[in-house]
């Protein structure tokens, strides 16, 4: 396990090739104050520059994240200043990172934490967990992480409206059933499940992974396009992948029955 730079409210480490970011402010239910806001930004920038192919975002304590720290209600925590939209939860939710991100949430996933759930490419919850978007209960709009923008990509409109308009929580089993998470596991199996998923992803070509991720999100953003335009987009990504060094290495390694040596290009 490789140690990484130290932070006050979160930790980062490398484990079996995965870049693990752990929210570590359990005494405040991992609510995001201004200092933690800046640290999240730094952590995701480190992941972007690191050779790791996959990030796992997890937590200490029984609450993944309670959202913005309402005890520090100010512009820094709830409404980032112009040009700083990618601070805090926005570090994850307002950028489309090239590499896959797995959310492994222990316990409650609330507010800004739930927006990080929406932004993750894959998500695993604990069986005793829950998901809630309670902003409306405080007269707030769930906008920094773009919940109204993103939630329709994951679940049915009626379910989305119920979550956002009532602010009521749903349990982990319902979150999986509705499509907000891939699976729910016992607490003691959470990190093993996340690392297993990460390993399955990391075995594949990193350049192809980045293209696949980009293409999936592009197809959602451009769902109004005619089918012919959609196919042109698929052809473009396929050509980029086919002409990459990773594609050449991957096919050669398959023929030679060996593990590929990826270059990420």
Helices 245-256 and 206-221: angle between axes, nearest 10 degrees: 120
**Taking the chain (265 residues) in consecutive chunks of 10 residues, what is each chunk's mean pLDDT?**
77 92 95 86 88 95 86 54 53 79 97 91 98 86 78 91 96 98 98 97 94 88 56 73 84 86 88
pLDDT of residue 223: 52
Q: Which of 16, 85, 115, 245 is catalytic?
A: 115
Q: Is 87 helix (H, G, I), strand (E, B) or coil?
A: coil
Annotated catalytic, 115? yes
pLDDT of residue 169: 97
pLDDT of residue 89: 63
Annotated catalytic, 135? yes
Q: How far is CA 254 from the centre of its chain?
A: 30
pLDDT of residue 112: 87
Terminal CA-CA length for the chain: 26
Which tens digits make up the pLDDT trace of 73-88? 554 445 555 555 555 5
pLDDT of residue 241: 80
> By the 8 A CB rule, do 131 and 169 touch?
yes
CATH superfamily of domain region 2-202: 2-enoyl-CoA Hydratase; Chain A, domain 1 (3.90.226.10)
> By the 8 A CB rule, do 170 and 131 touch?
yes
Q: Break the chain into its structural domains and give their ranges.
A: 2-202, 206-256
pLDDT of residue 75: 46
Strand partners, 2: 14
Burial class (CB in 10 A: 0-12, 13-18, 19+), 37: buried
Q: Which of 135, 189, 227, 256 is catalytic?
A: 135
Which tens digits make up the pLDDT trace of 47-56? 988 889 999 9
Beta-strand ranges (E) seen in 151-231 are 170-171, 183-185
The pTM for the full model equals 0.84
């Amino acid at each position: 396990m490789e140690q990484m730079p130290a932070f006050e409210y979160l930790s980062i480490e490398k484990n079996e090739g995965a870049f693990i970011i752990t929210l570590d402010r359990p005494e405040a239910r991992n609510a995001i104050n201004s200092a933690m806001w800046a640290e999240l930004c730094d952590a995701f920038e480190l992941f972007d520059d690191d050779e790791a192919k996959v990030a796992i975002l997890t937590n200490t304590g029984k609450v993944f994240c309670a959202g913005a720290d309402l005890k520090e209600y100010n512009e820094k925590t709830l409404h980032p200043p112009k040009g700083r939209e990618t601070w805090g939860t926005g570090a994850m939710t307002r950028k489309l990172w090239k590499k896959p991100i797995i959310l492994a949430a222990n316990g409650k996933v609330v507010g800004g934490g739930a927006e990080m759930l929406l932004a993750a490419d894959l998500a695993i919850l604990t069986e005793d967990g829950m998901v809630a978007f309670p902003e409306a209960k405080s007269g707030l709009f769930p906008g920094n992480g773009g919940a109204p923008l993103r939630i329709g990509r994951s679940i049915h409109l009626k379910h989305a409206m119920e979550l956002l308009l009532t602010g009521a929580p749903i349990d982990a089993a319902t979150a999986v059933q509705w499509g907000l998470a891939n699976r729910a596991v016992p607490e003691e199996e959470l990190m093993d499940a996340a690392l297993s998923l990460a390993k399955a992803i990391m075995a594949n070509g990193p350049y192809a992974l980045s293209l696949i991720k980009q293409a999936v999100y592009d197809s959602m953003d451009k769902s109004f396009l005619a089918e012919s335009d959609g196919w042109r987009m698929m052809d473009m990504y396929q050509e980029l992948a086919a002409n990459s060094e990773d594609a050449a290495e991957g096919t050669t390694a398959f023929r030679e029955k060996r593990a590929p040596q990826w270059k990420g290009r």
